[in-house]
Structure 1
Amino acid sequence: MASLAKDIDIRKFYDAIVSFEESEESQDFYYEVMDTPTGRKNKNGSDETVRDRILKAYGVLFCEDAGLEPGEKAGVQEVADTADRLYIGDAGYDPEHWYRMKYHFPVIDDDNYDRFAALVLADMNSGPLHEAALNDGETLVVGEADPLHMTPEQRKNQQVKSVSLPKGGAQ
């Protein structure tokens, strides 16, 4: 998404995703951005869109865990399977700490999987997560599968790995 920053106001895009449910204007802007061609071609020769690019980038974050090849787009199942594994900063018990719960995505399905992936990437590039990384050192962390249903002992002993993207993005 950083390379798209020159063409798209990433912060406005992030805000549109966060207020998607409350505003028709936000929905219109979200769909306009997601359907914007990037100027590249997909493997099948069709024009790549921002949606395609976002799903590829999300796939890169989880290619090892989801069994995706580099450059392969994350689908509904890959996003749904990984959404509960994201948390901010250090592992904790506060629901606001877990990324999916913080942004109120109770279900990941065909209607919203691309919006969740877009939210994660837009937040990393210009949202509060980007600001927290710059100012407080908090990052998006990938934890074990289904951390919200872990026992306290499992949470204490879980293996985590940080995910970082190249610097860039609009403020």
Structure 2
Amino acid sequence: MASIAKDLDPKLFYDAIVHFDESDEAKELYYQVMDTPTGRKNKSGSDETVRDRILKAYGVLFCEEAGLEPGDKAGVDEVADTADRLYIGGTGYDPDHWYRMKYHFPVIDDDNYDRFAALVLADMNCGPLHDAALNDGDTLVVGEADPLHMTAQQRKNQKVKSVSFPSGGAQ
């Protein structure tokens, strides 16, 4: 099992996350990958898992204002706070472009925050968001908090930044 994450097609992992609630096989694959050791050690000296790596990457990409130090893992609060601010394409879009709702995460909590973080990173690496960035120029945009309750003018005037991986993706 230690090599499952290394040998697995990233698209299969992305599909397992997307179909997590629909399939026991998807759940099993998701948990196998997330619990796979990376061969590195955490700050505490224990074996780092793919889950740890994903939460660290999510923290680096999206949680600058949370005050995380480099190498700190994003927790449920950091993921939940950021999830409400992710758009596909650009600001001012309707709720269909709000990333969290597009992927059916009405609540981000202790049970799914790591799955949401994994979804975002897998999508940027090999999912539709990756394809949209390459083909259509759409990106993942981090906006201000509470985007669904903003007026159109507030959405238009908000501060945003695009997030992307170097070409070819990263894991």
Q: TM-score, normalised by structure 1?
A: 0.93
Instruction: Indicate if the aligned counterparts of 1:10 and 1:169 stay in contact, CA closer than 8 A.
Output: no
Where structure 1 has 5 or more consecutive residues not aligned to the other structure, the ranges are none
Equivalent position of 2:160 in the other structure = 160
Q: CA RMSD in A?
A: 1.6
Equivalent position of 2:23 in the other structure = 23
Equivalent position of 1:132 in the other structure = 132
Instruction: Tell which has more relative contact order, 1 or 2 (C-alpha 8 A, sep 6+).
Output: 1
Q: Does 1:83 align with 2:83?
A: yes
Give the whole-Å Cα distance in 1 for the aligned partners of 2:73 and 2:116.
14
Shift of 1:153: 1.8
Give the whole-Å Cα distance in 2 for the aligned partners of 1:52 and 1:7.
18
Equivalent position of 1:147 in the other structure = 147
Equivalent position of 2:111 in the other structure = 111
CA shift digits 1:37-85 (9 cap, x unpaired): 1010001000000000000000001232221111110000000110010
Greater Cα shift, 104-113 or 55-64: 55-64
Identity across matched positions, percent: 83
Q: Kindly provide the amino acid, as one letter, of the partner of residue 117 in structure 2.
A: A
Where structure 2 has 5 or more consecutive residues not aligned to the other structure, the ranges are none
Shift of 1:93: 3.4
Instruction: Indicate if the aligned counterparts of 2:5 and 2:33 stay in contact, CA closer than 8 A.
Output: no
Give the whole-Å Cα distance in 2 for the aligned partners of 1:72 and 1:161.
22
Give the whole-Å Cα distance in 1 for the aligned partners of 2:29 and 2:67.
32
Give 4+ residue runs of structure 1 displaced > 6 Å after superposition. Answer: none
CA shift digits 1:105-136 (9 cap, x unpaired): 00000000000000000000000000001111
Instruction: Indicate if the aligned counterparts of 2:63 and 2:78 stay in contact, CA closer than 8 A.
Output: no
Greater Cα shift, 4-13 or 122-131: 4-13
